[in-house]
């Protein structure tokens, strides 16, 4: 009995579909393939003009012919404009010359002025020009002059010119301001800046709430504030209930905010935080659920920090620091941590007790004190950073403290596995002081996997160091002779820490 059927289903229909697909595949294979890389350069540049700057740069991954093509996607003049208004120039004439040029998209617009004739209306015209050119990267800087600025009849910002977000380009992706004032976001009815990813402010006064900035910049992932200041109701204090923020990197350096409450904002993506400033005046508060991968803490207080405030360092940090891979910490913060480690009531200080993921540590020694070396040893012991691979130590370049006052007897014993994976050590401003020699000799003994140690010192030859044990000094001389230690009077740019920028002079 035959079961074969010519109907729409069954094996016959399947064979027909397979044959049809095969025929279609042959037709496609026979058709000529048009590759975008084969297009003329002018046409490919025209394609790139339709893309945002970052996407145009990423086009280099398509093929060799696309690499660096984005740099010439605009015809002459180039897609970057830089204007520097000097004291003797007439702002109106410069503006008229600029505005006489036909508008076209600009990747970057940099405007620097040091001109007493410059007024706020001039600045608005520059902003309007940048917005019409749909600028993606905007830099505005004031040098050496203060303007008399009035907004709604009130003099604000100490005479510094004002930046208005609503006047910005809708494609703005990177914003950099220096010596200016942020004032009035026109929050009600203001259009969002969907492309804005990074804001860098230096010496900027702000009367804008952080919540308003974030409401208009939903994709902001980098916020870098240096030497900025404003009142308690400022950019970084408090916020209305809002959706989780996309911020990943925050830098606060020498700002005057009187308390930075980042813990009041949802920041699940925050992975990098850098802080440099006075502990007493401007302590930060980080979100408890932040999962940081790199942390920079430098308390620049020249006077001793009250011991009664030591516990606040524990309170401001996230609950879980086990994901940290890079830490930069100053001697003031080391002293606080050492005190907490030694306090029996807080010996379970878990926030700094579990740094198993730590790969790089940088120590900033802001002063010469008796307990510096002990604090370093205790930090290495208590934090259980057995996977540490790179250690950088920034010593003070000069010191008025007599060498004999730096003599100390360290009784902290490091476990054998603490530095087992340490491969590279670099010590800056090494001056052959006793505690420096002791630190280096300890590292030579404990770091069994050490590949190289770099000592940057104005004194290349070993000096007689009073009070150092002969065994320690002999160990250094032996390592120098064998080439295990390299001494240089200049810094090698090839061996820089992850946090290569130090905000205060060491």
Please answer whether residues 92 and 125 qualify as being in contact, where contact means their C-beta atoms are separated by less than 8 angstroms: no
User: 58 or 236: which carries more pLDDT confidence?
Assistant: 58
Average pLDDT over every residue of 318-329? 91
Higher pLDDT, 350 or 133: 133
The answer on pLDDT for 317 being more than 60 is: yes
Residues 6+ apart with CB under 8 A from 39: 47
Distance set, CA 481 to CA 39, 61, 74 (Å) = 61, 48, 58
Give the per-residue pLDDT at 351. Answer: 73
Host H or E run for residue 273: strand 272-277
190 neighbors 213 (Cβ within 8 angstroms): no
Whether the CB-CB separation of 295 and 326 falls below 8 Å is answered with yes
Which pLDDT score is estimated for 241? Answer: 44
Classify strands 80-85 and 154-155 as parallel, antiparallel or unpaired: unpaired
Q: Are 244 and 268 in contact (CB under 8 A)?
A: yes
Residue 380: pLDDT band (50, 70, 90) is confident
The structure tokens 């030694």 sit at 342
The confidence band for 158, taking pLDDT boundaries of 50, 70 and 90, is: very low
Percent of the chain with pLDDT over 90: 17
Query: What pTM was computed for the model?
Result: 0.78
What's the whole-number average pLDDT of the chain? 77
Q: What is the mean pLDDT of residues 1-24?
A: 51
Cα gap 207→241, rounded to integer Å: 20
Residues 6+ apart with CB under 8 A from 348: none
Can you say how many angstroms the Cα of residue 441 is from the centroid of all Cα atoms in its chain? 33
User: Is the pLDDT reported for residue 453 higher than 60?
Assistant: yes
Compute the residue count for the chain: 506
Half-sphere exposure (Cβ direction) of 296: Cα atoms closer than 13 Å: 21
Lowest pLDDT segment from 5-14, 396-405, 406-415: 5-14
83-116 residue pLDDT tens: 888 888 888 888 888 888 777 788 889 999 887 7
Is 150 a residue whose pLDDT tops 50?
no
Give the per-residue pLDDT at 154.
Answer: 34
pLDDT at 79 over 80: no
Distance CA 138, CA 170 (A): 12
How distant is the alpha carbon of residue 149 from its chain centre?
32
**The two three-digit tokens of residue 480, written as one number:** 């120098």
E-only strand ranges, 36-118: 80-85, 108-113
Task: Answer whether residue 292 shows pLDDT above 90.
Answer: yes
Residue 286 has pLDDT above 60, yes or no: yes
- Tell which residue, 285, 290, 296, has the closest CA to residue 333: 296
Provide the CA 342 distance to its chain's centre, in angstroms.
32
What residues have CB less than 8 Å from 83, skipping those under 6 apart?
Answer: 94, 98, 110, 111, 112, 113, 126
- Does the pLDDT of residue 156 top 70, yes or no? no
Question: How large is the average pLDDT for residues 132-136?
Answer: 89
Average pLDDT of the residues in 468-492: 83
Instruction: Measure Cα distances from 387 to 198, 262, 416, 443 in Å.
Output: 33, 30, 13, 15
Indicate whether 127 pLDDT > 80. yes
Mean pLDDT of 379-408: 75
- Residue 33, pLDDT > 90, answer no
CA–CA distance, 314 with 316 (Å, rounded to integer):
6
Q: What is the pLDDT of residue 494?
A: 85
pLDDT digits (tens, 9 = 90+) for 235-257: 555 444 455 678 899 998 988 76
The Cα–Cα gap between 227 and 230 comes to: 10
Edge-first strand order for the sheet with 205-206 is 162-163, 181-182, 205-206
For the residues 392-404, what does the mean pLDDT come to? 71
Alpha-carbon Rg for the chain, nearest whole angstrom, is 30
Residue 100 Cα to chain centre, angstroms? 39
> Of 65, 74, 67, which is closest to residue 36 (Cα–Cα)?
65
Which is more confident, 315 or 411? 315
Q: Check residue 35 and give its pLDDT.
A: 66
Instruction: State the first-to-last Cα distance of the chain, in angstroms, to the nearest integer.
Output: 96
Q: What percent of the chain has pLDDT over 70?
A: 71
Residue 395: Cβ within 10 Å count: 23
Cα–Cα distance measured from residue 336 to residue 371, given in angstroms and rounded to the nearest whole number: 12
CA atoms within 13 A on the CB side of 25: 6
CB neighbours of 273 closer than 8 A, spacing ≥ 6?
Answer: 249, 250, 251, 284, 286, 290, 292, 294, 295, 296
């Amino acid at each position: 009995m035959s079961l074969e059927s010519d109907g729409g289903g069954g094996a016959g229909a399947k064979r027909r579909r397979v044959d049809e697909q095969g025929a279609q595949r042959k037709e496609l294979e026979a058709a000529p393939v048009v590759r975008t890389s084969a297009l003329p350069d002018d046409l490919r540049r025209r394609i790139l003009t339709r893309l945002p700057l970052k996407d145009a740069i990423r086009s280099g991954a398509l093929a060799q012919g696309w690499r660096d093509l984005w740099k010439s996607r605009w015809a002459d003049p180039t897609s970057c404009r830089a204007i520097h208004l000097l004291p003797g120039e007439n702002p109106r004439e410069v503006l008229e010359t600029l505005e006489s040029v036909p508008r076209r998209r600009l990747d970057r617009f940099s405007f620097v002025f040091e001109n007493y004739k410059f007024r706020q209306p001039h600045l608005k015209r520059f902003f309007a020009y940048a917005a019409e050119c749909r600028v993606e990267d905007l830099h505005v800087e004031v040098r050496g002059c203060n303007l008399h600025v009035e907004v709604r009849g009130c003099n604000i910002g100490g005479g510094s010119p004002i930046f208005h977000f609503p006047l910005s380009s809708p494609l703005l992706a990177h914003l950099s301001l220096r010596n200016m004032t942020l004032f009035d976001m026109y929050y009600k009815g203001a259009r969002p800046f969907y492309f804005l990813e990074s804001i860098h402010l230096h010496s900027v006064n702000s009367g804008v709430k952080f919540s308003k900035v974030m409401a208009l910049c939903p994709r902001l992932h980098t916020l870098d504030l240096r030497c900025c200041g404003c009142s308690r109701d400022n950019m970084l204090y408090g916020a209305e209930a809002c959706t989780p923020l996309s911020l990943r990197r925050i830098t606060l350096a020498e700002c005057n905010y009187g308390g930075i409450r980042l813990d009041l904002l949802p920041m699940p993506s925050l992975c990098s935080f850098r802080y440099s400033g006075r502990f007493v005046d401007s302590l930060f508060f980080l979100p408890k659920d932040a999962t940081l991968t790199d942390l920079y803490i430098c308390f620049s207080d020249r006077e001793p920090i009250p011991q009664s405030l030591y516990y606040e360092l524990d309170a401001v940090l996230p609950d879980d620091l086990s994901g940290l891979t890079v830490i930069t910490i100053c001697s003031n913060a080391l002293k606080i941590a050492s005190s907490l480690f030694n306090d029996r009531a807080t010996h379970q200080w878990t926030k700094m007790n579990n740094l198993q993921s730590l790969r790089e540590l940088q120590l900033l020694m802001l002063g010469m004190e008796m307990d510096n070396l002990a604090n370093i040893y205790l930090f290495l012991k208590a934090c259980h950073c057995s996977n540490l691979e790179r250690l950088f130590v920034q010593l003070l370049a000069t010191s008025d403290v007599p060498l004999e006052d730096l003599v100390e007897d360290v009784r902290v014993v490091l476990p054998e596995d603490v530095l087992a994976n340490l491969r590279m050590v670099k010590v800056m401003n090494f001056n052959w002081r006793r505690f420096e020699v002791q630190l280096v000799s300890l590292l030579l003994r404990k770091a069994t996997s050490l590949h190289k140690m770099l000592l940057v010192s104005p004194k290349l030859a070993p000096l007689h160091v009073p009070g150092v044990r002969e065994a320690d000094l002999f160990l250094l001389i032996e390592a120098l002779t064998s080439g295990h230690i390299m001494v240089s009077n200049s810094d090698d740019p090839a061996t820089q820490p992850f946090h290569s920028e130090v905000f205060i002079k060491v």
